[in-house]
Amino acid sequence: MSRFRIDKIDSVVAGSLVENSPYLSVFVVPEVLENLSPRVDWWLVSKGDEPLCVWPVTLNSEGRVQLPGFTYYVGPLWLKSMDDLPGHRSLSETSGAYELFIRTFIENYREVRASLPLGLLDVRAFDWWNYHEPTLKRFVIRPRYTALIDRLDQQTEQEIISGFRELRRRELRRVEKFLGGLLADRAGAEELVALYGKTLERQGKSFQETTKKQIGRLAELVDTPHAEVFSFRSKETGECVSAVLLLYDPFSAHMVLNLLHEDSRKTGLGPWTVTQSILGAKSRGCLRYDFNGANSPNRGDDKHSYGSRPSLHFQVEYSEKSE
C-alpha cells in the first residue's frame, strides 16, 4: 500500500482531473455536486506521481456523510478505464486505492457511503473488508438498477419512438388533442416543489423540508449549462401541469424529476413530456438518456416502456457510528 498516496484536494483541482474520466457523470462535476450538497470533501489517491482516482465525500448540514437527494454515481471516479487494464493490474490498483480511501474515511468520518458509477462493477475490495474479522462490521453492498436509452446519436426520432411500448405510442397519439391548450414555458422552483408535493400527497407520503430545499437547488442549476427543464402549463389556468428536469454531462442526459399534475394523468401529457426530453437530449448531442433509478418492478416497467435497457451499478455503505 506504500506505493499509494492520498491527498485532500480542492474542487478546482478535482474538476480538472475528473473532466476526462471515462466514468464521469454530471453528479460529480464540482459545480453541480457542491450546489446539491452542503459540504463536499474531495480526495485523491495517486500511485507515485500518477493520479488514479478522485472520490468526493458529501456531508449533510450536521457533518454526517450522506449522499445528496436526487443524485447518483457519487463515489470513486477512476481517471482511466479499469476495463482497459489487465485483470491483475486492475485488481491491484483498485484494491490498493480503495484500502487507502476506506481507512482514511473511517479515520475522518467513521463511515463510507458511495454510489459507484456505471461500468464499475468490481466490488471485491468492499465485500472483503473485515471478512476475516467476525466481530467487526462489514460493508453493505446494494445492487441498484437504472434504465438507459443508448445510441441516441445513431437513431432518428422515429426509430426512438418505435422502441416505445405500444401503450406509450398510443398515449402520444392521444395527447395531440390536448396540445392546443398547453404552453411550453419554463417552470420555476416553487412550481416544481408544488408538483412534487402533490405527487407525494397522492402516494400518502410526507414532504420533508430537506426535499423541498433540494428541489430548489436542482432548479437553480437550470441557469447553468448543466440542466434543462421541459415543462408545460395550461393556457386556461396558467398552472404548470407537467415537467421533466434533466441534468447533462458531455455524453448523457439524466432525468432527476418527472412530474405531472393530477388532472393531466389520463391525457398522455406525461409520456409526451418525457418524449420531448428524450428528443431534446438527442438534439443536444447526448449519446444516451439515463432515467436514473429503475429498482422496483413498477418503476422499472415504466421506464423500460420507453425502450430503455436495465443497467447495474452498486451502492456501498459502511459505518462505525451507532444509528
Per-run averaged pLDDT (10 residues), the chain, 323 residues: 87 97 97 98 96 98 96 97 84 93 98 97 96 94 98 97 97 94 92 93 90 95 96 94 97 97 92 98 98 94 97 97 64
Query: 151-286 maps to which CATH number?
Result: 3.40.630.30
For residue 9, the cross-strand partners are: 42
Sheet of 227-234, strand order: 111-115, 309-319, 140-149, 288-290, 252-260, 240-248, 227-234, 182-184
Model pLDDT, residue 1: 45
Residue 43 to residues 18, 203, 294, 313: CA-CA distances in angstroms?
12, 39, 30, 22
Residues 6+ apart with CB under 8 A from 6: 43, 44, 45, 46, 100, 101, 104
d(CA 296, CA 278): 22
Model pLDDT, residue 322: 61
d(CA 65, CA 146): 23
CATH fold label, 4-144+314-319: Aminopeptidase (3.40.630)
Place of cell 462505525: 320
Model pLDDT, residue 85: 80
Cell of 86: 489487465
d(CA 211, CA 203): 16
d(CA 70, CA 58): 13
Q: Residue 61, exposed/middle/buried by CB under 10 A (0-12, 13-18, 19+)?
A: exposed
Number of CB atoms found within 10 A of residue 22's CB? 16
Domains 4-144+314-319 and 151-286 share a fold: yes
Domain chopping of the chain, boundaries:
4-144+314-319, 151-286
Cell of 48: 507515485
Q: Which strand (E) or helix (H) includes residue 213?
A: helix 209-220
